[in-house]
């Protein structure tokens, strides 16, 4: 029986089957002790297996007869895992021709989706992953790789390796940013008319990525007031600056203008995400990010800030295109109990 014209299934004497691949499970039965597979389909027969096989009454075996130019599923999985495995990723052992990849530490799972899709368009091999980019914890499962048949053509793996090139498909990027300044805007807060309920939320969200709030400043409305606070923050060289409030189009909401006046190059003011449409992101010449956070971050369980923060924390520089892609999957469904990130929000 031929497989792709180059691999044949044959019945061979046990002694002649060494180096070939079993076509089916072989069950071992010991009365009162066990009944189950002693050798599984896909096992490569070894010299040391012969006594056990004979004791099981197996004098002949049905095997795939390996031919030049073909690769066993275990070797194929190893090579696929090597194409995928970047920094901070470990792999499992083989299980039925499959290898799984796991995070070695906390960080942002980052994947080249274009190259992944090109590899999965090839025959005989698959690479399946979690969504990218997404925050992960140490030990989280990231991906699984497998050859579909028991043996595949070497050329198929070479095609995949050519697509991958010199850089692995995926990595877990550690969180790099360590501290932030928070600037709370609004006369009502500055005059003590209302309590600041925004900053505690920010502190909690930043803490999830190992970022501490270095300083909090409360300033009244007005572009000059907010811009002055930003200037003071920049003088302390924080890893990021966050401005809360004053992000709508109301005449008194001056935060976007103040951020622009402070010298930041705006990536976006407005994002195709709900909640969080009035979000702002900019960068200074030294690479420091500054964000303007709309009021929804204070009361909604999950917003655009939750989508952006892990990327910023991992040191990724976001672009306008990153935000334009957020519209697909950018609608929060306001579930009774929030399960983010295990939900469709942000999964464009």
The string of pLDDT tens digits covering residues 101-134 is: 999 999 999 999 999 999 999 999 999 999 999 9
C-alpha to C-alpha distance for 103 and 12, rounded to whole angstroms: 43
- Identify which of 3-17, 216-230, 267-281 has the greatest average pLDDT: 267-281
CATH code of domain 70-172:
3.90.1170
pLDDT band at residue 21 using 50, 70 and 90 as cut-offs: confident
Could you tell me which of 286, 232, 285 has the C-alpha nearest to residue 258? 232
pLDDT digits (tens, 9 = 90+) for 68-99: 788 888 889 999 999 999 999 999 988 777 99
Instruction: State the pLDDT at residue 163.
Output: 97
At 31 the pLDDT is: 78
Q: Identify the pLDDT of residue 66.
A: 67
Identify which has the larger pLDDT, 20 or 122.
122
Beta bridge partners, 182, equal 216, 242
Domain with CATH 3.90.105.10 in the chain: 2-65
Identify the residue with better confidence: 196 or 134.
134
CA nearest neighbour of 284 among 257, 255, 314, 260:
260
> Residue 260: its pLDDT value, please?
93
Predicted confidence band of residue 6 (pLDDT cuts 50, 70, 90): very low
User: What is residue 1's predicted lDDT score, i.e. its pLDDT?
Assistant: 38
**171: β partners:** 110
Q: What's residue 11's pLDDT?
A: 85
**Fold (CATH) for 179-327:** Molybdenum Cofactor Biosythetic Enzyme; Chain A (3.40.980)
- Domain at 2-65, CATH from 3.40.50.460, 3.90.105.10, 3.40.50.10190, 3.40.50.300: 3.90.105.10
Q: In what order do the strands lie in the sheet with 134-136?
A: 134-136, 107-111, 170-173
CB 27 within 8 A of CB 35: yes
In the chain, CATH 3.90.1170 sits at: 70-172
Q: Looking at mean pLDDT, say which of 47-56, 58-67, 126-135, 144-153 comes out highest.
A: 126-135
- Give residue 8's pLDDT: 59
Listed in sequence order, the residues at least 6 apart from 242 whose beta carbon sits closer than 8 Å to its beta carbon are 180, 181, 182, 183, 202, 290, 291, 293
Over the stretch 277-301, which tens digit does the pLDDT of each residue have?
Answer: 999 999 999 999 999 999 899 999 9
């Amino acid at each position: 029986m031929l497989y792709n014209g180059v691999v044949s299934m044959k019945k061979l004497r046990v002694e002649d089957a060494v180096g070939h691949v079993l076509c089916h499970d072989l069950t071992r039965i010991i009365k009162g002790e066990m009944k189950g597979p002693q050798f599984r389909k896909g096992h490569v027969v070894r010299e040391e297996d012969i006594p056990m096989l004979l004791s099981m009454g197996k004098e002949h075996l049905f095997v795939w007869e390996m031919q030049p130019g073909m690769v066993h599923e275990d070797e194929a999985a190893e090579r696929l895992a090597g194409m995928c495995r970047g920094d901070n990723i470990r792999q499992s052992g083989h299980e039925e021709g499959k290898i799984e990849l796991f995070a070695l530490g906390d960080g942002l799972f980052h994947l080249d989706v274009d190259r992944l899709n090109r590899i999965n368009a090839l025959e005989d091999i698959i690479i399946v992953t979690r969504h990218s980019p997404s925050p992960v914890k140490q030990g989280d499962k990231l991906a699984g790789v497998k050859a579909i048949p028991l043996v595949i053509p070497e050329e198929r793996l070479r095609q995949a390796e050519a697509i991958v090139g010199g850089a692995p498909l995926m990595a877990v990027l550690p969180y790099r940013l360590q501290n932030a300044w928070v600037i709370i805007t609004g006369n009502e807060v500055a005059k003590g008319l209302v309590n600041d309920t925004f900053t505690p939320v920010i502190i909690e969200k930043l803490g999830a990525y190992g970022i501490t709030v270095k300083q909090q400043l409360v300033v009244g409305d007005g572009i000059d007031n907010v811009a002055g606070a930003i200037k003071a923050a920049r003088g302390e060289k924080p890893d990021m600056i966050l401005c809360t409030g004053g992000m709508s189009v109301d005449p008194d909401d001056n935060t976007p203008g103040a951020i622009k006046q402070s010298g930041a190059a705006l990536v976006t003011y407005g994002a195709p995400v709900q909640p969080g449409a009035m979000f702002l992101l900019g960068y200074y010449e030294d690479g420091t990010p500054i964000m303007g956070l709309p009021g929804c971050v204070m009361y909604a369980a999950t917003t655009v800030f939750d989508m952006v923060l892990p990327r910023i924390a991992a040191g990724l520089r976001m672009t306008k295109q990153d935000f334009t892609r957020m519209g697909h999957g950018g609608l929060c469904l306001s579930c009774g109990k929030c399960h983010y990130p295990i939900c469709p929000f942000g999964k464009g």
